Structure 1
Amino acid sequence: MTERSPWGRLVAAQFAAGAANHLLPAGAGATVVNLRFLTRCGLSTRRAATAPAVKAAVGGTVRCALGLALLAASPGTVRLAARVPHVSLLLSVAAGVVVLAVAISGRLRRVVARAVADVRDVHRYRARACALWGGSVAFALLHAGVVVAVVHAIGLGLPVSRVVMAYLVAGGAAAPLPTPGGLGSLDAALALALTAAGAPGPAAVSTVLGYRLLTGWLPMAPGLLVPAILVRRSAL
């Protein structure tokens, strides 16, 4: 977004958003916390709602771009993608439903038009555009890096390219499913993708548990404490 927000409180709010994301389905927890935080910062409800939508749209675009780049750079990962054929079908159907809903609903068309206008405004500022796209790339690569680190720690000899592709495929498959924090859906998809990449079943499950520990359960501790502090300071 083009407006400035208090940096320290913004970072703290993301810990609260991460904790809330594990309680409500389909990313609703983080969206609600960020919406409340941004309205407290003085943004209108529409502007506050557009910011997370822009972030989510760019994040999905980045994941697709990273997957295509990985396929081009490492053709061996094509076999992994081919073993999970339902992913592309599921994403195509979801995209078709979204496009149809936007085409039918005038209200949705207005919402999309406002979001496009906000994206255009952000891209007028080079630093903000770099933060938007760079942050989305960093998020995907850091999470993929955690999976790679866990795979290395338990002694699996899988190529890095296959592990990263497994994470991208699993994330794309789990995204449309309404489970809190991807719990269950991402776990099953990641285990399946790692198995398709050549990992034994028990090792794939161990990798998923290690990934969850580092990216979900450990950050929950500060995430559960931060909301009370932010509410006391009228930031939420």
Structure 2
Amino acid sequence: MKNKVTVLALSAGLLLGSCEAIQNTNHTQRGAAVGATSGAVIGGVLGNNVGKGDNAVLGAIAGAVIGGVAGGLIGNRMDKQAEKIENTLPGAEVVRTAEGIQVILDEQSDVRFEYDKSDLTAQAKANLDKLIPVFNEYPDTDILVVGFTDSKGSDAYNQGLSERRASSVVAYLKAKGINSSRLKSIGQGETNPRGDNNTEAGRAQNRRVEFGITANDKMIEDAKNEAGQ
């Protein structure tokens, strides 16, 4: 999969009624526009009500939107971090949305899991090692790790397996020096598949983790002070 940086403006477009206006701004301006107009609405719908079929990463990012000038400043910093992640780990899918970053690590970027396994492969560790300097460069961000599975097995078993996969990534990042206060892990089982679960290639694509990167309290406070809020 060709790596890409994409801005998701669907929710903002529905709420603002003007996708074209959003598409004609840069990421920093989008952060301010989306946050100021729809942060509370998106946060209520996704951030606080992530159901089985919802993507928890996008919900966490939407729920963390600050908006206004401060949101624009945060968006600018997230732009820079997203670009570094994309350049550091070619093959990962990096999605910029509002004031956060979604990073999808699957078999294309070799951060994956073998069938019915939650331990990281050597290649997965090597690729996570590439991301750690970027995470360290931006210490004022929180990192949500979400694990997923393919559809083989029961819902209950897959839920537990996805949680163990996310936990194994968090444990590895902690062992490499990432502050534990920045990290959180959850599992979403076999929901939100990216590949066809009827094929082995598709199932391998679904055995993945995603990162949701958002501003922590310090970044938010710094941005508000800089914006004079």
| TM-score when normalising by structure 1 | 0.24
- Between the two structures, name the one with larger relative contact order (CA 8 Å, sep ≥ 6): 1
Q: Relative to total residues, which structure has the larger helix share, 1 or 2?
A: 1
- The structure that has the greater radius of gyration is 1
| TM-score when normalising by structure 2 | 0.25
